[in-house]
Amino acid sequence: MKKVTKVFYITISLVLIAVLTAALMPAAYERVTGNITAWLSTTFGWYYMLAMTFVLLVAFFLVISPYGKVRLGKPEDRPEFSTPTWVAMLFSAGLGIGLVFYGSYEPLSHFAIQTASAEPGTEAAFQESMQRTFMHYGFNAWAMYGMVALALAYFQFRKGERGLISSTLKPLFGKKMNGGWGTLIDVIAIFATVFGVASSLGFGAAQINGGLSFLFGIPNNNWSQLVIIAVITVLFILSAWSGLSKGIKYLSNINMVLAVLLLVLVLILGPTLLILNVFTQSFGEYIQNILSLSMNTEAFNSGNREWLDAWTIFYWAWWISWSPFVSMFIARVSRGRTIREFLVYVVLVPTVLCAIWFAAFGSAAIDIQQSGIADLTAGAVETTLFMMFNEMPFGFGLSIIAILLLLTFFISSADSATFVLGMQSTNGSLTPDNSVKVVWGILQSAIAAILLSVGGLAAIQNTIIIAALPFSFVMLLMVWSLLKALKGDARLMAGKKKAS
Protein backbone atom coordinates (compact mmCIF):
# COMPACT_ATOMS: atom_id res chain seq x y z
CA MET A 1 0.00 0.00 0.00
CA LYS A 2 1.37 3.37 -1.02
CA LYS A 3 1.87 6.37 1.25
CA VAL A 4 0.65 4.66 4.43
CA THR A 5 2.03 6.42 7.54
CA LYS A 6 2.92 5.15 10.99
CA VAL A 7 -0.45 6.48 12.19
CA PHE A 8 -2.04 3.63 10.22
CA TYR A 9 -0.02 0.90 11.96
CA ILE A 10 -0.34 2.41 15.45
CA THR A 11 -4.11 2.71 15.13
CA ILE A 12 -4.49 -0.79 13.68
CA SER A 13 -2.62 -2.17 16.70
CA LEU A 14 -4.77 -0.26 19.21
CA VAL A 15 -7.97 -1.26 17.41
CA LEU A 16 -7.01 -4.94 17.47
CA ILE A 17 -6.18 -4.77 21.18
CA ALA A 18 -9.54 -3.16 22.00
CA VAL A 19 -11.51 -5.60 19.82
CA LEU A 20 -9.75 -8.67 21.22
CA THR A 21 -10.34 -7.46 24.78
CA ALA A 22 -14.02 -6.84 24.09
CA ALA A 23 -14.36 -10.20 22.32
CA LEU A 24 -12.51 -12.30 24.93
CA MET A 25 -13.85 -10.56 28.03
CA PRO A 26 -17.10 -8.89 26.92
CA ALA A 27 -18.78 -8.75 30.34
CA ALA A 28 -15.74 -7.42 32.21
CA TYR A 29 -14.86 -4.97 29.45
CA GLU A 30 -18.41 -3.62 29.30
CA ARG A 31 -18.60 -3.31 33.09
CA VAL A 32 -15.33 -1.39 33.40
CA THR A 33 -15.99 0.91 30.45
CA GLY A 34 -19.57 1.43 31.62
CA ASN A 35 -18.38 2.54 35.07
CA ILE A 36 -15.87 4.94 33.51
CA THR A 37 -18.51 6.35 31.16
CA ALA A 38 -20.95 6.91 34.05
CA TRP A 39 -18.24 8.69 36.06
CA LEU A 40 -17.31 10.89 33.10
CA SER A 41 -20.94 11.88 32.48
CA THR A 42 -21.49 12.82 36.11
CA THR A 43 -18.16 14.60 36.56
CA PHE A 44 -17.79 16.36 33.21
CA GLY A 45 -21.43 16.89 32.27
CA TRP A 46 -21.18 20.63 32.97
CA TYR A 47 -18.08 20.79 30.76
CA TYR A 48 -19.79 19.07 27.81
CA MET A 49 -22.75 21.46 28.10
CA LEU A 50 -20.48 24.52 28.15
CA ALA A 51 -18.27 23.24 25.32
CA MET A 52 -21.19 22.55 22.97
CA THR A 53 -22.77 25.92 23.79
CA PHE A 54 -19.48 27.72 23.18
CA VAL A 55 -19.01 26.10 19.78
CA LEU A 56 -22.56 27.09 18.78
CA LEU A 57 -21.94 30.72 19.77
CA VAL A 58 -18.67 30.84 17.82
CA ALA A 59 -20.42 29.45 14.73
CA PHE A 60 -23.11 32.13 15.03
CA PHE A 61 -20.43 34.81 15.40
CA LEU A 62 -18.61 33.67 12.25
CA VAL A 63 -21.84 33.70 10.21
CA ILE A 64 -22.63 37.33 11.05
CA SER A 65 -19.02 38.58 11.10
CA PRO A 66 -16.92 39.81 8.14
CA TYR A 67 -15.06 36.49 8.35
CA GLY A 68 -18.15 34.94 6.74
CA LYS A 69 -16.97 36.19 3.35
CA VAL A 70 -13.73 34.19 3.50
CA ARG A 71 -13.64 31.39 0.92
CA LEU A 72 -12.50 27.88 1.81
CA GLY A 73 -9.83 27.78 -0.84
CA LYS A 74 -8.26 30.18 -3.28
CA PRO A 75 -10.30 33.26 -4.30
CA GLU A 76 -11.07 31.68 -7.67
CA ASP A 77 -12.10 28.27 -6.24
CA ARG A 78 -15.74 27.26 -6.63
CA PRO A 79 -17.68 24.29 -5.19
CA GLU A 80 -16.94 20.85 -6.62
CA PHE A 81 -20.50 19.60 -6.04
CA SER A 82 -23.90 21.19 -6.62
CA THR A 83 -25.63 22.47 -3.48
CA PRO A 84 -28.35 19.73 -3.38
CA THR A 85 -25.73 16.98 -3.82
CA TRP A 86 -23.47 18.63 -1.24
CA VAL A 87 -26.30 18.82 1.33
CA ALA A 88 -27.18 15.18 0.62
CA MET A 89 -23.56 14.10 1.15
CA LEU A 90 -23.07 15.92 4.45
CA PHE A 91 -26.49 14.78 5.67
CA SER A 92 -25.75 11.14 4.81
CA ALA A 93 -22.36 11.24 6.55
CA GLY A 94 -23.60 13.16 9.58
CA LEU A 95 -26.63 11.06 10.43
CA GLY A 96 -27.33 8.12 8.19
CA ILE A 97 -28.59 5.05 10.00
CA GLY A 98 -29.20 6.90 13.28
CA LEU A 99 -31.98 8.98 11.77
CA VAL A 100 -33.95 5.87 10.76
CA PHE A 101 -33.01 3.91 13.89
CA TYR A 102 -34.17 6.56 16.37
CA GLY A 103 -36.74 8.47 14.27
CA SER A 104 -39.73 6.94 16.03
CA TYR A 105 -38.08 5.45 19.08
CA GLU A 106 -36.46 8.49 20.70
CA PRO A 107 -39.53 10.77 20.89
CA LEU A 108 -41.60 7.75 21.97
CA SER A 109 -39.06 6.90 24.67
CA HIS A 110 -39.03 10.46 26.04
CA PHE A 111 -42.84 10.37 26.06
CA ALA A 112 -43.69 6.93 27.44
CA ILE A 113 -40.60 5.15 28.78
CA GLN A 114 -38.14 7.57 30.37
CA THR A 115 -39.12 11.24 30.43
CA ALA A 116 -36.84 14.18 31.16
CA SER A 117 -39.06 15.65 33.90
CA ALA A 118 -42.75 15.36 33.00
CA GLU A 119 -45.15 12.59 33.96
CA PRO A 120 -44.90 9.78 31.37
CA GLY A 121 -47.77 9.57 28.88
CA THR A 122 -49.01 13.12 29.43
CA GLU A 123 -49.35 16.05 27.04
CA ALA A 124 -46.49 17.72 28.91
CA ALA A 125 -44.32 14.65 28.23
CA PHE A 126 -45.27 14.83 24.52
CA GLN A 127 -44.27 18.49 24.37
CA GLU A 128 -41.05 17.87 26.29
CA SER A 129 -40.10 14.83 24.20
CA MET A 130 -40.06 16.85 20.99
CA GLN A 131 -38.02 19.72 22.39
CA ARG A 132 -35.41 17.35 23.81
CA THR A 133 -35.18 15.31 20.59
CA PHE A 134 -34.80 18.49 18.52
CA MET A 135 -32.07 19.51 20.95
CA HIS A 136 -30.14 16.26 20.55
CA TYR A 137 -30.14 16.51 16.74
CA GLY A 138 -30.14 20.27 16.49
CA PHE A 139 -27.97 23.36 16.34
CA ASN A 140 -25.46 22.35 19.03
CA ALA A 141 -24.57 19.04 17.38
CA TRP A 142 -24.35 20.43 13.86
CA ALA A 143 -22.43 23.52 15.00
CA MET A 144 -19.84 21.20 16.54
CA TYR A 145 -19.56 19.22 13.30
CA GLY A 146 -19.48 22.47 11.37
CA MET A 147 -16.71 24.12 13.39
CA VAL A 148 -14.43 21.07 13.30
CA ALA A 149 -15.09 20.67 9.56
CA LEU A 150 -14.55 24.40 9.00
CA ALA A 151 -11.14 24.31 10.66
CA LEU A 152 -10.13 21.30 8.54
CA ALA A 153 -11.38 22.85 5.29
CA TYR A 154 -9.83 26.25 6.03
CA PHE A 155 -6.34 24.94 6.77
CA GLN A 156 -6.45 22.33 4.01
CA PHE A 157 -7.79 24.40 1.13
CA ARG A 158 -6.83 27.94 2.06
CA LYS A 159 -3.52 27.33 3.84
CA GLY A 160 -2.39 24.27 1.88
CA GLU A 161 -1.97 22.07 4.96
CA ARG A 162 -2.47 18.30 5.02
CA GLY A 163 -6.04 17.11 5.61
CA LEU A 164 -5.33 15.98 9.18
CA ILE A 165 -6.69 17.03 12.57
CA SER A 166 -3.16 17.76 13.77
CA SER A 167 -2.52 20.22 10.91
CA THR A 168 -5.25 22.55 12.19
CA LEU A 169 -3.31 23.18 15.43
CA LYS A 170 -0.13 24.53 13.84
CA PRO A 171 -0.99 28.18 14.56
CA LEU A 172 -0.91 27.24 18.26
CA PHE A 173 1.87 24.65 18.47
CA GLY A 174 3.88 25.05 15.28
CA LYS A 175 6.22 22.22 14.23
CA LYS A 176 5.29 20.10 17.27
CA MET A 177 2.30 18.95 15.22
CA ASN A 178 4.70 17.26 12.78
CA GLY A 179 6.04 15.02 15.56
CA GLY A 180 4.74 12.78 18.31
CA TRP A 181 1.96 15.07 19.54
CA GLY A 182 0.54 15.36 16.05
CA THR A 183 0.67 11.59 15.66
CA LEU A 184 -1.16 11.12 18.97
CA ILE A 185 -3.97 13.46 17.92
CA ASP A 186 -4.37 11.75 14.54
CA VAL A 187 -4.39 8.30 16.15
CA ILE A 188 -7.19 9.38 18.53
CA ALA A 189 -9.15 10.69 15.54
CA ILE A 190 -8.81 7.45 13.56
CA PHE A 191 -9.54 5.31 16.63
CA ALA A 192 -12.79 7.19 17.28
CA THR A 193 -13.75 6.95 13.60
CA VAL A 194 -13.18 3.19 13.37
CA PHE A 195 -15.27 2.31 16.41
CA GLY A 196 -17.92 4.94 15.75
CA VAL A 197 -18.57 3.55 12.29
CA ALA A 198 -18.29 -0.09 13.44
CA SER A 199 -20.94 0.45 16.12
CA SER A 200 -23.19 2.23 13.61
CA LEU A 201 -22.81 -0.68 11.19
CA GLY A 202 -23.75 -3.05 13.98
CA PHE A 203 -26.90 -1.09 14.78
CA GLY A 204 -27.77 -0.81 11.10
CA ALA A 205 -27.43 -4.56 10.59
CA ALA A 206 -29.59 -5.18 13.67
CA GLN A 207 -32.36 -2.88 12.40
CA ILE A 208 -32.31 -4.28 8.87
CA ASN A 209 -32.52 -7.76 10.38
CA GLY A 210 -35.33 -6.61 12.67
CA GLY A 211 -37.28 -5.26 9.71
CA LEU A 212 -36.79 -8.37 7.60
CA SER A 213 -37.76 -10.54 10.55
CA PHE A 214 -40.90 -8.49 11.24
CA LEU A 215 -41.97 -8.53 7.58
CA PHE A 216 -40.82 -11.90 6.30
CA GLY A 217 -40.07 -14.01 9.35
CA ILE A 218 -36.33 -14.16 8.65
CA PRO A 219 -34.55 -15.22 11.86
CA ASN A 220 -33.46 -12.25 13.94
CA ASN A 221 -30.08 -13.48 15.14
CA ASN A 222 -26.33 -13.04 14.79
CA TRP A 223 -26.06 -15.25 11.71
CA SER A 224 -28.57 -13.17 9.77
CA GLN A 225 -26.82 -9.97 10.81
CA LEU A 226 -23.44 -11.36 9.77
CA VAL A 227 -24.82 -12.18 6.32
CA ILE A 228 -26.23 -8.64 6.05
CA ILE A 229 -22.84 -7.14 6.99
CA ALA A 230 -21.04 -9.39 4.49
CA VAL A 231 -23.33 -8.44 1.60
CA ILE A 232 -23.18 -4.74 2.35
CA THR A 233 -19.41 -4.85 2.80
CA VAL A 234 -19.06 -6.02 -0.80
CA LEU A 235 -21.38 -3.25 -1.98
CA PHE A 236 -19.71 -0.39 -0.15
CA ILE A 237 -16.21 -1.56 -1.14
CA LEU A 238 -17.34 -1.49 -4.79
CA SER A 239 -18.69 1.99 -4.19
CA ALA A 240 -15.48 3.11 -2.47
CA TRP A 241 -13.43 1.76 -5.37
CA SER A 242 -15.40 3.91 -7.83
CA GLY A 243 -14.29 7.14 -6.16
CA LEU A 244 -15.78 10.14 -4.39
CA SER A 245 -17.44 11.74 -7.42
CA LYS A 246 -19.31 8.57 -8.33
CA GLY A 247 -20.06 6.13 -5.50
CA ILE A 248 -20.70 8.42 -2.51
CA LYS A 249 -22.20 11.15 -4.68
CA TYR A 250 -24.79 8.86 -6.26
CA LEU A 251 -25.56 7.05 -3.00
CA SER A 252 -26.09 10.33 -1.15
CA ASN A 253 -28.56 11.50 -3.78
CA ILE A 254 -30.42 8.18 -3.55
CA ASN A 255 -30.48 8.55 0.24
CA MET A 256 -32.13 11.96 0.02
CA VAL A 257 -34.71 10.80 -2.53
CA LEU A 258 -35.69 7.79 -0.40
CA ALA A 259 -35.66 9.82 2.83
CA VAL A 260 -37.85 12.57 1.37
CA LEU A 261 -40.20 9.96 -0.12
CA LEU A 262 -40.56 8.16 3.22
CA LEU A 263 -41.02 11.45 5.08
CA VAL A 264 -43.72 12.68 2.70
CA LEU A 265 -45.58 9.36 2.89
CA VAL A 266 -45.53 9.38 6.71
CA LEU A 267 -46.75 12.98 6.66
CA ILE A 268 -49.64 12.07 4.32
CA LEU A 269 -50.57 8.67 5.77
CA GLY A 270 -49.96 9.58 9.39
CA PRO A 271 -51.69 12.17 11.59
CA THR A 272 -50.92 15.04 9.19
CA LEU A 273 -52.47 17.92 11.13
CA LEU A 274 -50.91 16.74 14.40
CA ILE A 275 -47.46 16.47 12.78
CA LEU A 276 -47.69 20.00 11.32
CA ASN A 277 -48.85 21.49 14.60
CA VAL A 278 -46.26 19.60 16.65
CA PHE A 279 -43.42 20.68 14.37
CA THR A 280 -44.48 24.33 14.33
CA GLN A 281 -44.97 24.65 18.09
CA SER A 282 -42.12 22.39 19.23
CA PHE A 283 -39.52 23.89 16.91
CA GLY A 284 -40.57 27.37 18.04
CA GLU A 285 -40.25 26.33 21.67
CA TYR A 286 -36.86 24.77 20.96
CA ILE A 287 -35.61 28.02 19.39
CA GLN A 288 -37.03 30.01 22.30
CA ASN A 289 -35.43 27.78 24.95
CA ILE A 290 -32.20 26.78 23.21
CA LEU A 291 -29.86 28.62 25.60
CA SER A 292 -31.55 27.32 28.74
CA LEU A 293 -31.64 23.78 27.33
CA SER A 294 -27.97 24.07 26.31
CA MET A 295 -26.87 25.16 29.79
CA ASN A 296 -29.24 23.11 31.95
CA THR A 297 -27.27 20.67 34.14
CA GLU A 298 -30.20 19.79 36.49
CA ALA A 299 -28.02 20.95 39.37
CA PHE A 300 -30.98 21.00 41.77
CA ASN A 301 -32.77 17.81 40.72
CA SER A 302 -30.80 14.57 40.98
CA GLY A 303 -33.63 12.51 39.49
CA ASN A 304 -33.73 14.57 36.30
CA ARG A 305 -29.92 14.55 36.24
CA GLU A 306 -29.95 10.79 35.68
CA TRP A 307 -31.96 11.33 32.50
CA LEU A 308 -29.63 14.12 31.40
CA ASP A 309 -26.57 11.89 31.86
CA ALA A 310 -28.19 9.03 29.98
CA TRP A 311 -29.37 11.13 27.05
CA THR A 312 -28.13 14.70 26.47
CA ILE A 313 -24.63 14.37 27.90
CA PHE A 314 -24.26 10.94 26.30
CA TYR A 315 -25.27 12.49 22.98
CA TRP A 316 -22.77 15.34 23.30
CA ALA A 317 -19.97 12.89 23.96
CA TRP A 318 -21.22 10.66 21.13
CA TRP A 319 -21.30 13.53 18.62
CA ILE A 320 -17.83 14.68 19.67
CA SER A 321 -16.46 11.17 19.20
CA TRP A 322 -17.97 11.08 15.69
CA SER A 323 -16.67 14.52 14.72
CA PRO A 324 -13.28 13.42 13.28
CA PHE A 325 -15.03 11.21 10.72
CA VAL A 326 -18.04 13.37 9.89
CA SER A 327 -16.19 16.69 9.92
CA MET A 328 -13.31 15.44 7.80
CA PHE A 329 -15.74 14.17 5.18
CA ILE A 330 -17.77 17.40 5.24
CA ALA A 331 -14.55 19.40 4.89
CA ARG A 332 -13.40 17.29 1.93
CA VAL A 333 -16.55 17.97 -0.09
CA SER A 334 -16.83 21.69 0.80
CA ARG A 335 -13.97 23.29 -1.07
CA GLY A 336 -14.91 26.61 -2.65
CA ARG A 337 -17.71 27.53 -0.23
CA THR A 338 -17.56 30.72 1.83
CA ILE A 339 -17.52 30.39 5.62
CA ARG A 340 -20.99 31.95 5.86
CA GLU A 341 -22.47 29.66 3.21
CA PHE A 342 -20.72 26.66 4.74
CA LEU A 343 -22.01 27.22 8.28
CA VAL A 344 -25.55 28.11 7.23
CA TYR A 345 -25.90 24.92 5.22
CA VAL A 346 -24.02 22.65 7.63
CA VAL A 347 -25.76 23.91 10.78
CA LEU A 348 -29.17 25.30 9.82
CA VAL A 349 -30.36 23.01 7.01
CA PRO A 350 -29.70 19.63 8.74
CA THR A 351 -31.21 20.94 11.99
CA VAL A 352 -34.45 21.88 10.26
CA LEU A 353 -34.56 18.62 8.29
CA CYS A 354 -33.98 16.59 11.45
CA ALA A 355 -36.74 18.50 13.27
CA ILE A 356 -39.20 17.81 10.46
CA TRP A 357 -38.20 14.13 10.44
CA PHE A 358 -38.59 13.62 14.18
CA ALA A 359 -41.82 15.63 14.28
CA ALA A 360 -43.30 13.33 11.63
CA PHE A 361 -42.06 9.97 12.87
CA GLY A 362 -42.23 10.84 16.58
CA SER A 363 -45.74 12.27 16.39
CA ALA A 364 -46.97 9.26 14.41
CA ALA A 365 -45.51 6.85 16.96
CA ILE A 366 -46.83 8.77 19.98
CA ASP A 367 -50.28 9.11 18.36
CA ILE A 368 -50.47 5.32 17.95
CA GLN A 369 -49.25 4.82 21.52
CA GLN A 370 -51.83 7.28 22.92
CA SER A 371 -54.67 5.73 20.93
CA GLY A 372 -54.04 2.31 22.47
CA ILE A 373 -54.05 0.58 19.07
CA ALA A 374 -50.66 -0.96 19.81
CA ASP A 375 -47.98 -0.75 22.48
CA LEU A 376 -44.93 0.32 20.49
CA THR A 377 -42.77 0.18 23.62
CA ALA A 378 -43.24 -3.59 23.90
CA GLY A 379 -40.87 -4.49 21.06
CA ALA A 380 -37.15 -4.19 20.60
CA VAL A 381 -35.72 -0.78 19.71
CA GLU A 382 -34.82 -1.89 16.17
CA THR A 383 -38.42 -2.96 15.44
CA THR A 384 -40.21 0.16 16.76
CA LEU A 385 -40.32 1.77 13.31
CA PHE A 386 -41.76 -1.34 11.66
CA MET A 387 -44.31 -1.81 14.44
CA MET A 388 -45.44 1.76 13.81
CA PHE A 389 -45.74 1.20 10.07
CA ASN A 390 -47.77 -1.94 10.77
CA GLU A 391 -50.52 0.28 12.20
CA MET A 392 -50.52 2.71 9.26
CA PRO A 393 -52.06 2.46 5.76
CA PHE A 394 -49.70 0.83 3.22
CA GLY A 395 -47.48 -0.15 6.13
CA PHE A 396 -45.75 -2.95 4.23
CA GLY A 397 -44.68 -0.57 1.47
CA LEU A 398 -43.41 1.95 4.02
CA SER A 399 -41.35 -0.78 5.68
CA ILE A 400 -39.80 -1.79 2.35
CA ILE A 401 -38.80 1.82 1.64
CA ALA A 402 -37.35 2.08 5.15
CA ILE A 403 -35.25 -1.05 4.65
CA LEU A 404 -33.98 0.28 1.31
CA LEU A 405 -33.12 3.58 3.00
CA LEU A 406 -31.27 1.72 5.75
CA LEU A 407 -29.30 -0.18 3.13
CA THR A 408 -28.28 2.94 1.22
CA PHE A 409 -27.45 4.81 4.43
CA PHE A 410 -25.47 1.77 5.57
CA ILE A 411 -23.46 1.66 2.34
CA SER A 412 -22.87 5.42 2.11
CA SER A 413 -21.80 5.72 5.76
CA ALA A 414 -19.31 2.88 5.41
CA ASP A 415 -18.13 4.25 2.06
CA SER A 416 -17.60 7.73 3.54
CA ALA A 417 -15.77 6.23 6.50
CA THR A 418 -13.35 4.22 4.34
CA PHE A 419 -12.57 7.39 2.40
CA VAL A 420 -11.92 9.40 5.58
CA LEU A 421 -9.86 6.62 7.17
CA GLY A 422 -7.86 6.41 3.96
CA MET A 423 -7.20 10.16 4.12
CA GLN A 424 -6.17 10.07 7.77
CA SER A 425 -3.78 7.16 7.35
CA THR A 426 -2.10 8.45 4.15
CA ASN A 427 -0.93 11.80 5.46
CA GLY A 428 -4.12 13.64 4.53
CA SER A 429 -4.19 12.62 0.86
CA LEU A 430 -7.28 13.86 -1.00
CA THR A 431 -7.18 10.72 -3.14
CA PRO A 432 -6.22 7.80 -0.87
CA ASP A 433 -5.29 4.55 -2.60
CA ASN A 434 -8.11 2.08 -3.15
CA SER A 435 -6.07 -0.63 -1.44
CA VAL A 436 -5.99 1.43 1.79
CA LYS A 437 -9.74 2.06 1.61
CA VAL A 438 -10.42 -1.63 1.06
CA VAL A 439 -8.35 -2.60 4.11
CA TRP A 440 -10.25 -0.14 6.29
CA GLY A 441 -13.58 -1.23 4.83
CA ILE A 442 -12.97 -4.90 5.56
CA LEU A 443 -11.59 -4.10 9.01
CA GLN A 444 -14.52 -1.97 10.19
CA SER A 445 -17.01 -4.58 8.94
CA ALA A 446 -15.03 -7.32 10.70
CA ILE A 447 -15.10 -5.32 13.93
CA ALA A 448 -18.86 -4.85 13.69
CA ALA A 449 -19.33 -8.58 12.98
CA ILE A 450 -17.11 -9.68 15.88
CA LEU A 451 -18.75 -7.35 18.35
CA LEU A 452 -22.25 -8.35 17.28
CA SER A 453 -21.30 -12.00 17.75
CA VAL A 454 -20.10 -11.52 21.33
CA GLY A 455 -22.56 -8.80 22.33
CA GLY A 456 -19.81 -6.21 22.66
CA LEU A 457 -21.38 -3.21 20.91
CA ALA A 458 -22.33 -1.56 24.21
CA ALA A 459 -18.74 -1.85 25.44
CA ILE A 460 -17.43 -0.26 22.25
CA GLN A 461 -19.97 2.54 22.61
CA ASN A 462 -18.53 3.15 26.06
CA THR A 463 -15.00 3.16 24.62
CA ILE A 464 -15.98 5.81 22.09
CA ILE A 465 -17.54 7.99 24.79
CA ILE A 466 -14.36 7.71 26.85
CA ALA A 467 -12.28 8.73 23.82
CA ALA A 468 -14.55 11.75 23.34
CA LEU A 469 -13.22 13.54 26.43
CA PRO A 470 -9.63 14.03 25.22
CA PHE A 471 -10.87 14.83 21.72
CA SER A 472 -13.18 17.52 23.11
CA PHE A 473 -10.08 19.43 24.24
CA VAL A 474 -8.66 19.03 20.73
CA MET A 475 -11.93 20.35 19.32
CA LEU A 476 -11.76 23.52 21.43
CA LEU A 477 -8.13 24.02 20.45
CA MET A 478 -9.13 23.70 16.79
CA VAL A 479 -11.69 26.48 17.24
CA TRP A 480 -9.10 28.68 18.96
CA SER A 481 -6.55 27.95 16.23
CA LEU A 482 -9.07 28.79 13.50
CA LEU A 483 -10.00 32.12 15.10
CA LYS A 484 -6.32 32.98 15.50
CA ALA A 485 -5.60 32.18 11.84
CA LEU A 486 -8.62 34.17 10.64
CA LYS A 487 -7.54 37.16 12.67
CA GLY A 488 -4.04 36.88 11.22
CA ASP A 489 -5.44 36.71 7.69
CA ALA A 490 -7.56 39.81 8.32
CA ARG A 491 -4.49 41.75 9.47
CA LEU A 492 -2.52 40.57 6.45
CA MET A 493 -5.25 41.65 4.03
CA ALA A 494 -5.58 45.02 5.78
CA GLY A 495 -1.81 45.50 5.46
CA LYS A 496 -1.88 44.70 1.74
CA LYS A 497 -4.67 47.22 1.17
CA LYS A 498 -2.71 49.93 2.93
CA ALA A 499 0.42 49.09 0.95
CA SER A 500 -1.43 49.31 -2.32
Task: Tell me which of 243 and 310 has the higher pLDDT.
Answer: 310
Is residue 14 predicted with pLDDT exceeding 60?
yes
**pLDDT over threshold 90, residue 125:** yes
Give the pLDDT confidence score for residue 187 in this predicted structure: 87
In this prediction, residue 457 carries a pLDDT of 64
CA 58, chain centre distance (Å) = 20
Q: Domain 6-491 is in which class? A: mainly alpha
Q: What angle do CA 102, 108, 112 make, to 5 degrees?
A: 145
Do residues 444 and 424 make contact, with C-beta atoms less than 8 angstroms apart? no
In this predicted structure, the answer to whether residue 111 has a pLDDT above a threshold of 90 is yes
Looking at residue 3, what is its pLDDT?
64
CA 329 to chain centre: 11
* Mean pLDDT (whole number) for 95-105: 80
pLDDT grade for 62, boundaries at 50, 70 and 90: very high
Is the pLDDT higher at 495 or at 79?
79
The whole-number average pLDDT for the span 259-267 is 94
CA distance 92 to 330: 10
pLDDT at 413: 75
| CA distance to 1, 164, 436, per residue, from 8 (Å) | 11, 13, 10
Going by pLDDT thresholds of 50, 70 and 90, the confidence category of residue 86 is confident
- Convert the pLDDT of each residue in 412-455 to its tens digit: 777 777 878 888 888 777 777 878 878 888 888 888 787 777 66
pLDDT digits (tens, 9 = 90+) for 292-315: 999 999 988 888 888 998 899 988
For residue 383, give every residue at least 6 positions away whose Cβ sits within 8 Å of its Cβ, in sequence order, or none: 210, 211, 213, 214
CA distance 435 to 440: 9
Concatenating the DSSP letter of every residue in 372-404 gives TS--GGGS-GGGHHHHHHHTSTTHHHHHHHHHH
Q: For 373-408, what is each residue's pLDDT tens digit?
A: 999 998 888 889 999 999 999 999 999 999 888 888
3-state secondary structure of 219: coil
Task: Identify the three-state secondary structure at position 433.
Answer: coil
pLDDT of 64 above 90: yes
For the chain, give every domain's residue range. Answer: 6-491
What does the pLDDT read at residue 478? 94
User: What is the predicted pLDDT for the residue at 492?
Assistant: 63
pLDDT for 263: 95
pLDDT of residue 54: 96
Q: Is the pLDDT of residue 162 over 70?
A: yes
What pLDDT does 498 receive?
61
129-158: per-residue pLDDT in tens? 999 999 999 999 999 999 999 999 999 998
The reported pLDDT for the residue numbered 348 is: 92
SS3 letters across 303-368 = HHHHHHHHHHHHHHHHHHHHHHHHHHHHHHCCCCCEHHHHHHHHHHHHHHHHHHHHHHHHHHHHHH
Query: What pTM was estimated for this model as a whole?
Result: 0.89
Predicted pLDDT at 255? 81
> pLDDT tens digits, residue range 397-406?
999 999 888 8
Supply the pLDDT for residue 452. Answer: 75
Q: What is the pLDDT of residue 436?
A: 81
Residue 218 is predicted with a pLDDT of 86
Torsion over CA: 142, 148, 150, 156 (sign): negative
pLDDT in the model for residue 178: 83
Average confidence score pLDDT of the chain:
86
